[in-house]
Amino acid sequence: MWKQFKNGLKEFKAAPAGERFIRTYEHWQQRANSPAATVLIVAVGVILVIAGFLLGLVPGVPGIVLGVVGLALIATRSRRLARGLDWIELKCRRRFSKRRDLNNTARS
Provide the pLDDT confidence category of residue 39 given band limits of 50, 70 and 90: very high
User: Can you give the pLDDT at residue 105?
Assistant: 72
**Integer Cα distance of 55 and 27 in angstroms:** 31
59 has a pLDDT exceeding 90:
no
User: How many independent structural domains does the chain possess?
Assistant: 1
Higher pLDDT, 42 or 104: 42
Q: Does 9 map to a domain?
A: no
**Integer Cα distance of 39 and 46 in angstroms:** 10
Mean pLDDT over the full length of the chain: 87
Q: Does 14 map to a domain?
A: no
Q: Does 49 map to a domain?
A: yes
* Radius of gyration, CA atoms only, the chain: 16
Q: Does 12 map to a domain?
A: no
Q: What is the mean pLDDT of residues 88-108?
A: 79
Q: Give me the domain span that covers residue 47.
A: 19-107
Q: Does 62 map to a domain?
A: yes
Q: Does 7 map to a domain?
A: no
Q: Count CB-CB contacts under 10 A for residue 21.
A: 25
Q: Does 29 map to a domain?
A: yes
Q: Does 52 map to a domain?
A: yes
Provide the pLDDT confidence category of residue 79 given band limits of 50, 70 and 90: very high
